């Protein structure tokens, strides 16, 4: 490669900043109780596409799809359906529904 008088390569193209298309948000997730957090930490932040639903987020995790209906979601301190849309800064607690007698 050719070098200029400062010893720097002159044939290398300049790197341009990478721009991500679309809006993104960050949520905080805590895996509570018996739910297996798999490859994730017990508490972890996730970056998602804007307006992702709870269900769509759960589908990106490592859980068996047949088990998704048994995951209870608490969003910002209140139970929520899987159809709820997530917003930037939401805090989720994921736990398994427990039954017995």
Q: Which of 65, 95, 66, 62 is nearest to 80 (CA)?
A: 95
pLDDT at 19 over 60: no
Is the pTM here over 0.85, yes or no?
no
Report the pLDDT value the prediction gives residue 45, as an integer from 0 to 100: 95
Report the pLDDT value the prediction gives residue 82, as an integer from 0 to 100: 96
Structure tokens at 53: 């639903």
Residues belonging to the chain: 101
pLDDT at 16 over 50: no
Report the pLDDT value the prediction gives residue 18, as an integer from 0 to 100: 39
Q: List the chain domain ranges.
A: 24-96
Query: What is the average pLDDT across 81-96?
Result: 96
**DSSP-assigned states of every residue in the chain:** --B-TTS-BSSSPPPPPP---S-EEEEEEEE-TT---TTS-SEEEEEEETT-BHHHHHHHSSS-GGGGGGEEEEETTEE--TTPBP-TT-EEEEEE-----
Domain topology for 24-96: Ubiquitin-like (UB roll) (3.10.20)
Query: What is the average pLDDT across 77-87?
Result: 97
pLDDT-based confidence at 92, cuts 50/70/90? very high
Strand order in the sheet with 43-49: 43-49, 24-31, 91-96, 71-75, 78-79
């Amino acid at each position: 490669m050719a070098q200029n008088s400062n010893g720097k390569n002159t044939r290398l193209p300049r790197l341009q900043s990478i721009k991500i298309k679309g809006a993104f948000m960050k949520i905080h997730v805590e895996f509570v109780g018996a739910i297996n957090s798999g490859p994730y930490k017990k508490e972890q932040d996730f970056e998602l596409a804007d307006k992702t639903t709870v269900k769509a987020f759960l589908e990106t995790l490592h859980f068996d799809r047949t088990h998704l209906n048994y995951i209870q979601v608490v969003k910002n301190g209140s139970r929520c359906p899987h159809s709820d849309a997530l917003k930037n800064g939401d805090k989720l607690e994921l736990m398994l529904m427990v039954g017995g007698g």
